[in-house]
Chain A
Amino acid sequence: NAGVTQTPKFRILKIGQSMTLQCAQDMNHNYMYWYRQDPGMGLKLIYYSVGAGITDKGEVPNGYNVSRSTTEDFPLRLELAAPSQTSVYFCASRRGGVGTGELFFGEGSRLTVL
């Protein structure tokens, strides 16, 4: 059972380049999330989705876009990479329902923008 799978694990981008971080889950979870973690900081929510076709902004959405065309996939798009987007990105999913259910995280994608 794969759980939450993120690709790529590592990537170096030049300023102004674009890329997509892929996230897939095989647990049929309704809720999916993208977080970023900067050194010495907690996880900051970028975007989340409560189901296919529904997305919403989190705390730090600027510079990112998401889509949720299927239950399984929740890609994160960086359009014009900036050094401030150097971070470790975590995708997570959750079954959903009122007030219960923990987040299941992927292993993370480390992105460096030079």
Chain B
Amino acid sequence: DQQVKQNSPSLSVQEGRISILNCDYTNSMFDYFLWYKKYPAEGPTFLISISSIKDKNEDGRFTVFLNKSAKHLSLHIVPSQPGDSAVYFCAASGNYGQNFVFGPGTRLSVLP
């Protein structure tokens, strides 16, 4: 049973436009969420996080939105750049962040 879902395996966006990556979760105990980016042959790198006490967090071109009632979060990248092409993972944690559950990832391609 997948507790964290990313229903779009892939997404293509034109350079300069907005990229929106979605993530849904089923466990209402999750209270801390993170987004990671992964390039081939590298480990995932942290992008941005959000706690359940917030509904939005921004860091430069990256914004994460959390809708707790819908158990849904999204990552917005504006403007998208070719260097953003990677696999993006959504991760969620409950119990004070002892461990994290990852979604299957969405492959983003930003076309020049």
List residues of chain A with CB under 8 Å of any chain B CB. Answer: 4, 31, 33, 35, 40-45, 48, 50, 58-59, 90, 92, 94, 97-108
Question: Considering the chains assembled together, what is the distance between the CA atoms of A111 and B3 in angstroms?
Answer: 26
Contacts across chains A and B counted by CB atoms under 8 Å: 65
Query: Given A42-B4, A90-B44, are A103 and B100 neighbors across the interface (CB < 8 Å)?
Result: yes
Do A100 and B97 touch across chains, with their CB atoms under 8 A apart?
yes
Interface centre among B4, B36, B102, B103, by most chain A C-beta atoms within 10 angstroms, is B102
Do A48 and B103 touch across chains, with their CB atoms under 8 A apart?
no
Question: Considering the chains assembled together, what is the distance between the CA atoms of A59 and B45 in angstroms?
Answer: 22
Contact of A42 among B32, B46, B99, B105 (CB under 8 A): B105
* Interface membership of B28, Cβ < 8 A: no
Contact of A102 among B6, B34, B105 (CB under 8 A): B34
Question: Considering the chains assembled together, what is the distance between the CA atoms of A43 and B38 in angstroms?
Answer: 12
Across-interface contacts of B9 in A (CB, < 8 A): 40
Across-interface contacts of A59 in B (CB, < 8 A): 101
Query: Given A99-B32, A99-B97, A101-B97, are A43 and B43 neighbors across the interface (CB < 8 Å)?
Result: no
Do B98 and A107 touch across chains, with their CB atoms under 8 A apart?
no
Question: Considering the chains assembled together, what is the distance between the CA atoms of A106 and B38 in angstroms?
Answer: 12
Contact of A105 among B4, B41, B45, B98 (CB under 8 A): B45
Query: Given A42-B105, A43-B89, are A104 and B96 neighbors across the interface (CB < 8 Å)?
Result: no
Do B43 and A41 touch across chains, with their CB atoms under 8 A apart?
no
- Measured CB to CB, the closest approach of chain B to A97, in angstroms, equals 8
Kindly report which residue of chain B lies nearest to residue A33, judged by CB atoms: B99
Question: Considering the chains assembled together, what is the distance between the CA atoms of A66 and B36 in angstroms?
Answer: 25
Interface centre among B93, B98, B99, B105, by most chain A C-beta atoms within 10 angstroms, is B99
- Measured CB to CB, the closest approach of chain B to A106, in angstroms, equals 5
Do B46 and A103 touch across chains, with their CB atoms under 8 A apart?
yes
Query: Given A42-B4, A42-B103, A99-B32, are A48 and B98 neighbors across the interface (CB < 8 Å)?
Result: yes
Do A105 and B97 touch across chains, with their CB atoms under 8 A apart?
no
Across-interface contacts of B34 in A (CB, < 8 A): 102-103
How would residues 35 to 72 of chain B score, 1 for a CB under 8 Å from any chain A CB and 0 otherwise?
01000011111100101000000000000000000000
